[in-house]
């Protein structure tokens, strides 16, 4: 009885196995299981980092994505300052172009696609200016905080 069950299981496994081999198509499978066309890399230039820490790279793909960056040590501590950018095209045809500088002042990206804060309303600017003037006037009179809480 056990041998009949085992034989049946083996036959089912053999029947479920693929019957032929096909070479992979011109697609890739992403970790989530989706697939798409293979995008060729048209340019892939890389240099460094050299003995001093200088480096640069540039690459471009067949679907219009490009990325470039250069970096070199700066200052006494040799922290690497870099600059570069990337570009691509959105599905609707809109170009996406970004550039950046990363140095002692931090990472500073630039693009007309980055969000910007709304401008402050005039009353807020007036309040900030009044507070600045009060701070400046208070600093010139005394360095100790006032204890009268605005009372005469």
Contact criterion met (CB below 8 Å) for 84 and 100: yes
| Domains of the chain by residue range | 37-131
Reported as a single tens digit per residue, the pLDDT across 53-112 is: 899 999 999 999 999 999 999 888 778 899 999 999 999 999 999 999 999 889 999 999
Higher pLDDT, 26 or 105: 105
Average pLDDT, the chain: 81
The structure tokens 């500088």 sit at 101
Backbone phi and psi for residue 60, each to the nearest 5 degrees, phi listed first: -140, 145
Q: Return the pLDDT at 136.
A: 87
Reduce the DSSP state of residue 140 to 3 states and report it: helix
Q: Return the pLDDT at 79.
A: 85
Burial class (CB in 10 A: 0-12, 13-18, 19+), 93: exposed
Q: What tokens does 16 get?
A: 């479920």
Output the CA–CA distances (angstroms, integers) from residue 105 to 5, 40, 82, 108, 140, in the order listed.
73, 36, 12, 8, 31
User: CB within 8 A of 88, min separation 6: which ones?
Assistant: 64, 65, 66, 95, 96
- 116, pLDDT greater than 60: yes
Q: Can you tell me the distance from the alpha carbon of 116 to that of 47, in angstroms, rounded to the nearest whole number?
A: 35
């Amino acid at each position: 009885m056990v041998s009949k069950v085992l034989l049946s299981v083996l036959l089912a496994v053999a029947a479920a196995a693929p019957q032929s081999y096909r070479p992979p198509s011109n697609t890739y499978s992403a970790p989530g299981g989706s697939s798409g066309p293979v995008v060729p890399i048209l340019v892939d230039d890389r240099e460094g980092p050299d003995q001093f820490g200088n480096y640069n790279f540039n690459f471009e793909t067949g679907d219009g994505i490009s990325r470039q960056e250069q970096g070199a040590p700066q200052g006494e501590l040799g922290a690497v300052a870099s600059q570069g950018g990337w570009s691509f095209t959105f599905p609707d045809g809109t170009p996406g172009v970004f550039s950046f500088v990363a140095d002692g002042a931090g990472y500073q990206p630039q693009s007309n696609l980055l969000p910007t804060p709304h401008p402050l309303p005039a009353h807020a600017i007036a309040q900030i200016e009044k507070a600045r003037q009060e701070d400046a006037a208070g600093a010139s009179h005394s360095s100790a905080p006032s204890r009268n809480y605005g009372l005469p």
